[in-house]
Structure 1
Amino acid sequence: MAYITKYIYQLLQEVFEEHKDPRVQHLPLVGSPLPMAIAIVSYLAFVLHYGPKWMENRKPFNLKYVMRVYNAIQVIANFIIFVYGVPNSYMRKEFSLTCQPIDHTNTAPWMWNLIYLSYGYYITKYLDLLDTVFFVLRKKNNQITFLHVYHHAGMVFGVYAFMTFLAGSHSTMLGVINLFIHTVMYSYYFVTSVWPVKRAVWWKRHITQLQLLQFGYLFIHFLMAIVRNHCQHPVIVSFVGVTQNLFMFALFFDFYYKEYIRKPKLLAKEQRRQSKQQQQQQQRRQHWRR
C-alpha cells in the first residue's frame, strides 16, 4: 500500500512539474496544491461539523452590517474584474471563442493583464466561502445544502487548477460568465439587505435561471473543444468541463424545479384545500343556524 501511494504521489508530481504554468508560480495560493487543499478541508470541517457544533448552544450572530459590506465588496470586485476581463480576452482578435489553446509562452501585455485578472477572480473564490461561514454563524443550517457546499469548494479547486495549468486558455470563459452571474447575484443580496425583501424577491428566480444558462452554455463551450479541437486543447480538461457543467446544471435544475415549480403548485393546492374546508365549515354553520 505504501509503495502504491508513493508511486501515485511521484506520478502526480511529474504531471504537475510537466504541465504547470511558469508564468504564475510566483503568485500566492498558486503552484503547490497544499495551501488550497488546507483551505478546502478547513472550510468543510468548519461548515459541516465544528461550526454548527460550536454554535449549538449559542445565539445567532447579528451580521447584518457585516454582510452588507461583504456583498458590496463582492459586487465591486466581480464587476471590475468582469469589465476589464472581457477586453483582455474575447474582445481581442488573438483570443478565440471557439478554441483557445494553452500557451505558457505567451507574455504579451494583454495576456499578463488577463492572467492577473484571472488571479483576482481566483481570490474571490476564497471570499465566496464566507457565504457558508455566515450561514453557520447565523444558525441558518438549513441553507447549508450539498449543492451550496459542493459548488463553493469545487470552484476553489477548479479555479486553482485553471490558474496553475490553464491560464489564458479555452477555460477562461468559465470565469468571464461566472463574474457576470456573481455581480448580479451579490447585487441582489445587497439590495435585499438594505430594502425589504418583497421589493427585490422577483430577482431570485431569474438569478437561478441565469445560473442554468451559465452551465448550459459552458457545457456547449467545452463540447466545442472536443468536437472541433483545432487548438489542441487537452481533451481530458474539456471532458471534465462538459461533465461538471452537466452535473451542475442537473443540481441547479433540481433546486429550480422544487423551489419555483413544485413548491408553488403544492402551496396553491394547500390553499385550495383550506379554502374548501372554510367553505364547508361556513355551510355547516349556516345549516345549524336554520
Structure 2
Amino acid sequence: MKMIERTSSTVHYILHQYWIDFQDPRTKDFFLVDISPFTFAMIMASYVLFVKWIGPNLMKNREPMDLRLVMFVYNTAMVIINTYFFVMVVLHCDYGKRFIDFKYPDRKDNSPRALWELSQGWYYFMSKFLDLFDTVLFVLRKKTSHITFLHLYHHTCVPLFGWLFLKHNAVMPATGLFALINSFIHIIMYSYYALSTLGPNIRPYLWWKRYITLAQLAQFAFGIFYGIIMFFLQTGYPVFWTYFGLTQPFFFFYLFYDFYRNSYSSKTKQN
C-alpha cells in the first residue's frame, strides 16, 4: 500500500508539482506556457488525431481541395514571419558572442533586455503552431502520404520543446542559436513552397528542393557539434535537460538523413 502511495505521489510530482516548483517565474503567466504538461500534450495529441484520422475520414468521399492561393498566401506569410525572427536574432546576438556563453542564465534577471528576449521567445514559440497548418493543407488536398512519422515528430516536438524551454529554461543562448538557423532554413523552405504554387512554368526553376533537406542535415550536424561543446563547457545547467537536449540533434539527423536517402538517393540510382 505504501509503495502504491509513493508511486502515486511521485507521478503527481512529475506531472504537476515539478512544473510549479521549477517554473521560470518570468514566464509563469504566458499564454500556453501557464498550462500543465498534460494539457499541452492533449493539445498536440488533438493535432495528431485530426491530421491522421479525423481529417482524412472527413475527406474520404470528397474531392481534393484546390488551395493554391491559400498555400501561396500561407507560405509567403511564413517567409515574412521567419525573416522577422532571423533579423531579430542577428541584431541582438552581440555578433554571436551570446551563443558561446555557456553559463546557465539567471532566472531572476528582470532587465529590459531579458524580458524582451522572453517575449520574443514566446512569439517564436507561438509561430511554431502556425507550422502545423501545412499538415491541415495536406489533409484538405488529400496528400496524406506526406504526413510521415518525420513530419509529425518534427511538427509536434518543436512546439513541445518551445514549451519546455519557456517553462523551465527560458533565455538559453542555445535557443537563440536554434531560432537563428531554423528561421533561415524556413525562409528558404517556405519560399520554395510558395513558388511551387505558381504553376508548371516555374517548376523547372525549383531544382534546388533537395538542397533544403541537405541544409536541414547541416543544421542538425552543427547542433550535434554545438551540443557536445556545450555539454563539456556549460556551468549550472540542469543535468537531465542537458542530456535531453543533446539527444535531439542526433535523432533528427537520423530521421532527415533517412528521408534524404529514400527520397533522393533512389532517384539518383534510377536516373
Same fold (TM over 0.5): yes
Q: Residue 207 of structure 1 aligns to which amino acid in structure 2?
A: I
Corresponding residue of 1:48 = 52
Please give the secondary structure, in 1, of the residue aligned with 2:229: helix
Q: Distance in 1 between matches of 2:214 and 2:103?
A: 27
Choose from 155, 158, 163 the match for 1:160: 163
2:75 is aligned with 1:64: no
**Runs of 4 or more consecutive aligned structure 1 residues displaced over 4 Å after TM superposition:** none
TM-superposed deviation, 1:169: 0.9
Q: Residue 218 of structure 2 aligns to which amino acid in structure 1?
A: L
Q: Residue 48 of structure 2 aligns to which amino acid in structure 1?
A: L
Q: Residue 53 of structure 2 aligns to which amino acid in structure 1?
A: H
Higher mean C-alpha displacement, 149-158 vs 103-112: 103-112
Q: Residue 223 of structure 1 aligns to which amino acid in structure 2?
A: I
CA-based RMSD of the aligned residues comes to: 2.0
Is contact 1:98-1:225 (8 Å) kept? Answer: no
Higher mean C-alpha displacement, 45-54 vs 165-174: 165-174
Q: Distance in 2 between matches of 1:210 and 1:149?
A: 20
Corresponding residue of 2:228 = 223
Corresponding residue of 2:208 = 203
Please give the secondary structure, in 2, of the residue aligned with 1:86: helix
Please give the secondary structure, in 2, of the residue aligned with 1:14: helix
TM-superposed deviation, 1:35: 4.5
Higher mean C-alpha displacement, 194-203 vs 21-30: 194-203
Cα 1:179–1:152, aligned 2, differ >3 Å: closer, same or farther? Answer: same
Unaligned runs of 5+ in 2: none
Corresponding residue of 2:12 = 9
Cα 1:11–1:46, aligned 2, differ >3 Å: closer, same or farther? Answer: closer
Please give the secondary structure, in 1, of the residue aligned with 2:110: coil
1:88-99 alignment, distance < 5 Å: 88-91=92-95, 95-99=98-102
Q: Distance in 2 between matches of 1:234 and 1:11?
A: 15
**Structure with greater contact order relative to length (CA < 8 Å, sep ≥ 6):** 2
Identity %: 35
Q: Distance in 2 between matches of 1:236 and 1:90?
A: 29
Q: How many pairs are equivalent?
A: 265
TM-superposed deviation, 1:96: 4.3
Q: Distance in 1 between matches of 2:120 and 2:95?
A: 15
Choose from 98, 117, 121 the match for 1:118: 121
Q: Distance in 2 between matches of 1:53 and 1:81?
A: 36
Please give the secondary structure, in 2, of the residue aligned with 1:202: coil
Unaligned runs of 5+ in 1: 269-290
TM-superposed deviation, 1:195: 5.0
1:100-111 alignment, distance < 5 Å: 100-111=103-114
TM-superposed deviation, 1:109: 2.0
